[in-house]
């Protein structure tokens, strides 16, 4: 039986069905997560690894994984895994490609609504005043119907956000390094624009790019200055695609009107300055933090692992080039 090492605790009712497929090494609920030292101790005899909570799987640890054939990541982003080195070592990398799409898109849409409608600010104020006397002509929030959402990164999640935005009457522009065909754009009801063009025209910028070295700090003070001063920035992708200090500056100096982010540059920490700003909504990287979604993610990851170990070709393989070798 193939040996599977899971770096973090998963409720037993979710993994029970996989105990017939793998010999599973997993921390208990009280321990929650294995340390790096414990993973190093176990990994030499394991056929598969399942990384939880962005556990880092880099060169030094990969070199100790003598038998490893596949590593699965609990999430769609896999910047915690040196997937290129895994490819060199003939180790497949799988992620939760499809199961995070809708929950993450829902969260992005929710925090967009929260900031553009002042929901968190109203809630905070009302808990203090306990009096329903809003400013009758407050110039802070916006009417979304007829406005333009600019989606940066138009993969599965970006497209799902676009569909939700269209549901409230927004126009969709997008930028992605890989432009869709005219037929796809027509089907999706989306207009393509260059990066700077989308920044300049959109009333809300929603970021859904994967984190790569090329995308590091793609959202910085210069970027924010290219947006409308009345525009909002939403990030449900990865923290380091934005310079958090520059976002603080942009909000304080009213370069943009507001922001909502579920991710942060130096996670798990959140800067004190950002937390103190009123015109930002912050959530603790919970894009897929719904139990139903979490169960689906475990199934997608472990079904992918099982398929790889039995010669299959699951859709959620990151380094598909290994199939040719």
- Would you name the residues annotated as active-site residues? 238, 267, 285
Residues 303/281, Cβ–Cβ less than 8 Å: no
Question: What interhelical angle do 101-116 and 119-129 show, nearest 10?
Answer: 60
Cα(47)–Cα(65) distance, rounded to whole angstroms?
8
Q: Both ends of the chain: CA-CA distance in Å?
A: 25
Cα(307)–Cα(277) distance, rounded to whole angstroms?
47
Cα(108)–Cα(286) distance, rounded to whole angstroms?
10
Positive or negative torsion for Cα 253, 256, 262, 267: negative
Positive or negative torsion for Cα 26, 28, 32, 35: negative
Letter string b/e over residues 145-160, b meaning 16 or more CB atoms within 10 A of that residue's CB: eebbbbbbbbbbbbbb
- Retrieve residue 249's tokens: 């500056």
Cα(172)–Cα(144) distance, rounded to whole angstroms?
12
Cα(288)–Cα(282) distance, rounded to whole angstroms?
15
């Amino acid at each position: 039986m193939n040996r599977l090492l899971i770096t973090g605790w998963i409720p037993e009712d979710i993994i029970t069905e996989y105990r017939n497929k793998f010999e599973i090494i997993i921390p208990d609920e009280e321990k929650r997560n294995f340390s790096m030292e414990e993973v190093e101790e176990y990994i030499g005899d394991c056929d598969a690894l399942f990384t939880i909570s962005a556990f880092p799987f880099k060169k030094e640890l990969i070199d100790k994984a003598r038998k490893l054939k596949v590593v699965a990541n609990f999430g769609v982003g896999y910047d915690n895994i040196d997937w290129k080195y895994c490819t060199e070592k003939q180790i497949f990398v799988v992620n939760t490609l499809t199961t995070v799409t809708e929950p993450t898109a829902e969260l992005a849409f929710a925090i967009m609504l929260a900031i553009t409608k002042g929901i968190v600010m109203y809630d905070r104020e009302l808990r203090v005043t306990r009096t329903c006397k809003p400013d009758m002509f407050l110039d802070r929030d916006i009417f979304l119907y007829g406005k333009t959402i600019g989606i940066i990164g138009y993969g599965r999640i970006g497209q799902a956000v676009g569909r939700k935005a269209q549901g409230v009457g927004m126009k969709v522009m997008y930028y992605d390094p890989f432009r869709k065909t005219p037929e796809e754009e027509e089907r999706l009801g989306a207009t393509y624009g260059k990066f700077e063009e989308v920044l300049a025209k959109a009333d809300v910028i929603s970021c859904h790019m994967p984190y790569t070295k090329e995308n590091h700090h793609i959202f910085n003070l210069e970027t924010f200055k290219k947006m409308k001063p009345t525009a909002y920035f939403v990030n449900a992708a990865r923290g380091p695609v934005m310079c958090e200090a520059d976002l603080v500056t942009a909000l304080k100096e009213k370069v943009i009107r507001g922001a909502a982010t579920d991710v942060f540059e130096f996670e798990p920490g959140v800067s004190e300055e950002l937390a103190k700003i009123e015109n930002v909504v912050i959530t603790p990287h919970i894009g897929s933090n719904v139990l139903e979604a979490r169960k689906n993610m475990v199934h997608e990851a472990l079904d992918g692992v099982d398929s790889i170990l039995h010669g299959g070709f699951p859709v959620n393989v990151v380094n598909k080039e290994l199939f040719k070798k």
